[in-house]
Structure 1
Amino acid sequence: MRNICMIVSYDGTSYSGFQTQINQKTIQDVIEEKLERITGENIKIISSGRTDAGVHARAQVFNFHTNSSISSERWCLAINDWLPKDIIVRAAFDVPLDFHARKYAKSKTYVYSINNHRYKDVFKQKYQLHFPRKLNVEEMKTALEAIKGEHDFTSFCSLKSDKTSHIRTIHRATLEEYKHSDLEHRIDITISGNGFLRQMVRIIVGTLLEIGAGKKKSEDMITILNAKDRLKAGPTALPDGLTLWEVQYDIIDKKML
């Protein structure tokens, strides 16, 4: 028996998220079906975590157990020949039998990309939220500071959350603005933490957009956080701009991610 770990990139536009759902098209279902074709085994993969419908991934991590003798070097070629164009396995390697993609994850990083230009970018519109209204970027940066550290993120969590604890630790939260003449105006919000709640990053972004647009103030962020009330935060930003950037592990070489 072997335990194979894979790193996969996908465009989530056409899928109802990563995790299997009844009567829905998901990334997990597609990958498992292709692995079964290759190995002849009924394989169930274990991911680092779910991503919502429409959310993308640069480096989602999953593992599975198999008796297949396919070499580590050939796994990517074998499965990518079967996968659709919007899913690509970037790396595959053997890991210890007890490795578990979710339980062994140390932290995750998400990037939310906003197109703040007047017009949509025809080449990137599936991966950015188009928000043409003027934003106060400095206020948004100030507000981001409030979420760093360990907090109860109930205010920034879907009301449908099934987690018993909403306490999470944010290690990094940054906002970078990119302007290239009159052709591009992009804002990237990067958030890294030990775990994330359902729709947490999208609700944080929705709140930041209200702050940037002047509907809320930067100091409101800490007030919202302390309220532990979803109704106090901003709307849930659309999934288009959100990408799971990477998942960090102690036993996986960062160069593979």
Structure 2
Amino acid sequence: MMPTFKLTIGFDGTKFSGWQVQPDRRTVQGAIQDTWQKITGEAVHVTASSRTDAGVHALGQVVGVSSATHLDAEQLHRALNALLPVDVIVKGVEMVTNDFHATYNAIGKRYRYRIYNSRCRPLFERDMVWHVPQMLDTEAMHQAAHVLVGTHDFASFQSAGSERESTVRTISAIEVQRGSGEQGALVEVDVEGNGFLYNMVRIIVGSLVEIGMSRRDKAWLAAALKACDRRQAGRTAPPQGLCLMRVDY
């Protein structure tokens, strides 16, 4: 049986059409598979913990690959980072048991969504944040988010196009924080849970921004959750603010 390797990777998703290989499109999966083939001569299929959308970033994406290569984890780590495009980096490579599956073995994930909350639009971070010019009440957002913590049916927070057998998920923590000093325009929303539906974090953030703008209140968020109806929740926040921070196994 071929050895199985677990890769922890980061990437800037700005110029990628998402994770999954697509014809004539630049994807993260395609970049890793092409680079692996250059190094080992093998055409492999790599599996990720999450299939991120176009424009979404990662600091802790986890990838699994079975390979007949005779290179060890350290050699693969060095070779991958030498040949991968500049917007993908391998943070670690380790050999794991053959029953490891990057998707199915994951028991938790942590996402961070970054909002640039200032009348002046961002320059250097424009591909990494959602620019919201209207001042947000981050304390109201933080307090309202507690309604979503726990095990619930999150059908109201799933976009069409990737329906799952169950829309029940558990969120263990949500934090909304504003930076201080020179970082005062930066608002970060951290969401941690055992799994996420399609666009779930982005819809949560879009809904919290409605509350931060004083257009909605906590009671509305609770009602939207209970409704199990996508039309009752807020907008889907744009992709560039989202980053997969960590995957737990």
**Does the TM-score normalized on the shorter chain lie above 0.5?**
yes
Separation (CA, whole Å) in 2 of partners of 1:22 and 1:227: 38
Structural mapping, 1:129-208, within 5 Å = 129-181=130-182, 184-208=184-208
Structural mapping, 1:98-113, within 5 Å = 98-113=99-114
Aligned to 1:26: 27
Aligned to 2:46: 45
Separation (CA, whole Å) in 1 of partners of 2:51 and 2:9: 13
Aligned to 1:230: 230
Q: What's the CA shift string for 1:148-181, capped at 9, x where partnerless?
A: 0111111010022221211100011111111215
Tell whether the 8 Å contact from 2:9 to 2:91 is kept in structure 1 after alignment: yes
**2:210 is the alignment partner of 1:210:** yes
Separation (CA, whole Å) in 2 of partners of 1:63 and 1:161: 22
For 1:42, give the aligned amino acid: A
Q: Which ranges in structure 2 are unaligned for 5 or more consecutive residues?
A: none
Separation (CA, whole Å) in 2 of partners of 1:184 and 1:86: 27
Q: What's the CA shift string for 1:5-29, capped at 9, x where partnerless?
A: 1011000011111122344321001
Q: Give the count of matched residue pairs.
A: 248
For 2:191, what is the secondary structure of its paired residue? strand
Q: What's the CA shift string for 1:45-101, capped at 9, x where partnerless?
A: 111111111100001001111111112112121011211110011100100111111
Runs of 4+ off more than 4 Å: none
For 1:127, what is the secondary structure of its paired residue? coil
Tell whether the 8 Å contact from 2:178 to 2:184 is kept in structure 1 after alignment: no
Separation (CA, whole Å) in 2 of partners of 1:7 and 1:38: 18
Separation (CA, whole Å) in 1 of partners of 2:140 and 2:219: 9
Separation (CA, whole Å) in 1 of partners of 2:22 and 2:215: 37
Identity of aligned residues (%): 38
For 1:32, give the aligned amino acid: Q
Tell whether the 8 Å contact from 2:139 to 2:176 is kept in structure 1 after alignment: no
**2:5 is the alignment partner of 1:4:** yes
Structural mapping, 1:22-101, within 5 Å = 22-101=23-102
TM-score in terms of structure 1 length: 0.93
Separation (CA, whole Å) in 2 of partners of 1:22 and 1:234: 33
Q: What's the CA shift string for 1:200-256, capped at 9, x where partnerless?
A: 00011111111111111122111000001101111110011100001011xxxxxxx
Shift of 1:132: 1.4
Separation (CA, whole Å) in 1 of partners of 2:184 and 2:123: 12
For 2:107, give the aligned amino acid: K
Tell whether the 8 Å contact from 2:148 to 2:171 is kept in structure 1 after alignment: yes
Aligned to 1:241: 241
Shift of 1:103: 1.2
Which has the larger displacement, 66-75 or 192-201? 66-75
Q: Which ranges in structure 1 are unaligned for 5 or more consecutive residues?
A: 250-257
For 1:67, what is the secondary structure of its paired residue? coil
For 1:187, give the aligned amino acid: V
For 1:125, give the aligned amino acid: R
Separation (CA, whole Å) in 2 of partners of 1:219 and 1:162: 27
